[in-house]
Amino acid sequence: MSRSKTPAASSRRAAPTKVSKPFPWGTVLGSSVLALALVGVVAYAALNQGSGVNDLQRNPDQAIDGVQVTARDDLERNHVPGAVDYPTLPPSGGDHNISPQQCAVYDEPIAPEHALHSLEHGAVWITYQDSLPSADVEQLAGKAGGEPYLLMSPLPEQDSPVIMTAWGRQLRLDNASDPRIDDFITAYANGPQTPERGAACAGVTTTVPVAPAPVELLPPTGPSGAPTAPVAPTAPVASPPAS
């Protein structure tokens, strides 16, 4: 007997049925949310980078706790000779000498009349009591040395260990480690409060009081306050002849 042959098609296995998988919408949506969140974090950080510095530049009087502000219109700015009797030391404004003080670090007191002119040009004046520890003095000098708008000197008469002064602005501190020192410098060195912003902090380097103002001799006045005319000398009267 002859074997019957199975057709070739019948010897092949049936092809598996393809099953379509659903699109992973959940994974895509989750990844998108995470990506958007990351973009938001990066954008927020970029927009707010240095926001503290921006606050110091935009509104320093509110950004630094303890700053005493005197309105610019309340401060005279005349150039006067001789010493000025300031109501407080150090002064934060007022009449001053025609010559500014060179911005630098001084080991001896300087004349406030010269220092005020430097403040008018944008300087920040760092003053300290004689009793301030030497480590604090060195720390302050490290901040002020070589800076174009920083001035530093001792001031024995002041009422706080450290005082930061700019034109119309003042901050009293207990030590040189207070972080508000750097904030004050950032905000007010050649800052928006400066009457003559951009002028150089250059001038005298003396550490002695200003010379007294010359005394102006005024002519004598009469009862009405008007100067009196000088009286011409009279000729001697001859004595009558003896009888």
pLDDT tens for each residue of 86-141: 999 999 999 999 999 999 999 999 999 999 999 999 999 999 999 999 999 999 99
Residue 168 contacts residue 69 (beta carbons within 8 Å): yes
Q: In this model, does residue 230 exceed pLDDT 90?
A: no
For tokens 């009349």, the residue is 113
Question: How confident is the model at residue 212, as a pLDDT?
Answer: 86
Question: How confident is the model at residue 149, as a pLDDT?
Answer: 98
Q: In this model, does residue 226 exceed pLDDT 80?
A: no
pTM: 0.69
Beta strands in the chain, from DSSP E residues, in sequence order = 68-69, 124-128, 150-154, 162-166, 169-173
If one counts every other C-beta atom within 10 angstroms of the C-beta of residue 84, the result is 19
Q: Which residues contact 42 (CB under 8 A, 6 or more apart)?
A: none
- DSSP reduced 3-state for 107: coil
Q: Which residue has the higher pLDDT, 75 or 51?
A: 75
As a whole number of angstroms, the distance between CA 18 and CA 59 comes to 69
- Domains in the chain, please, with CATH? 93-212 (3.40.30)
What percentage of the chain carries pLDDT values higher than 70? Answer: 67
What's the mean per-residue pLDDT of the chain? 83
pLDDT tens for each residue of 200-223: 999 999 999 998 888 766 565 555
* Mean pLDDT (whole number) for 192-203: 96
Least confident of 27-41, 187-201, 208-222: 27-41
Least confident of 9-23, 60-74, 81-95, 157-171: 9-23
| The amino acid at 55 | D
As a whole number of angstroms, the distance between CA 80 and CA 64 comes to 33
Q: Which residues contact 196 (CB under 8 A, 6 or more apart)?
A: 120, 121, 122
Burial (CB < 10 A; 0-12, 13-18, 19+), residue 136, is: middle
